[in-house]
Amino acid sequence: MSAVLYTRVPEALKQALAAHAVGRGLSQTRAIVELLEQGLAGSADERSLAELEGELARSHGELAATRVRVREAELALQAAREREEQSARTYAAFAARARQVLARCPRCGKPLRGSDLLVTGRCPHCDQAVTELLAPAPRSALDQTEYLALLGALGLLTGLALASAGEEAG
């Protein structure tokens, strides 16, 4: 069933409608019906332009926030890698120093490494305590205060290395 609808339209719109109908091979009536159906369906189905613009603005804001978080994560990762590299260099230097021969055992005369003096405090060959080697000799160029400061620094470095190794293992 069809009904008649009379409406007045501007001349320019009437000419555009006629061109549209000719371009599609339709009568003007059929072209008007199709265009009205499409327009009504579109206005019923689509959200308003303001809603779409609001959603787009929210999406842009979320994208900007995500980019900031990604950049912060990249910087944190870079800093962590730099700390890891510094720790690896420190551990390598400490390990090299711990392997160096620093003295000879007063009892058996065999070489003592840095780890023997600073970690175990005993000769690995004869099990003699070697703590007296850590005390300054009277002819030493360092005075007792300087020597104790050196020992404290070495102890602190050892503690830091052991604590860091525990954190990496855990």
Instruction: Kindly report, residue by residue over 101-133, the tens digit of the pLDDT.
Output: 888 888 898 998 888 887 888 899 998 888 777
Tell me what pLDDT residue 120 has. 84
Residue 125: closest CA among 144, 112, 134 = 112
pLDDT band, residue 100 (cuts 50/70/90): confident
Instruction: Kindly report, residue by residue over 7-21, the tens digit of the pLDDT.
Output: 888 999 999 999 999
Separation CA 126–CA 124 (nearest Å): 6
Q: How far apart are the first and last CA of the chain?
A: 81
Q: Beta-strand (E) ranges in 29-159?
A: 101-104, 111-113
Separation CA 158–CA 151 (nearest Å): 10
pTM of the predicted model, to two decimals? 0.43
DSSP 119: I
What is the H or E stretch that residue 56 is in? helix 49-99
Please report the DSSP string for 13-33 in residue order.
Answer: HHHHHHHHHHHHT--HHHHHH
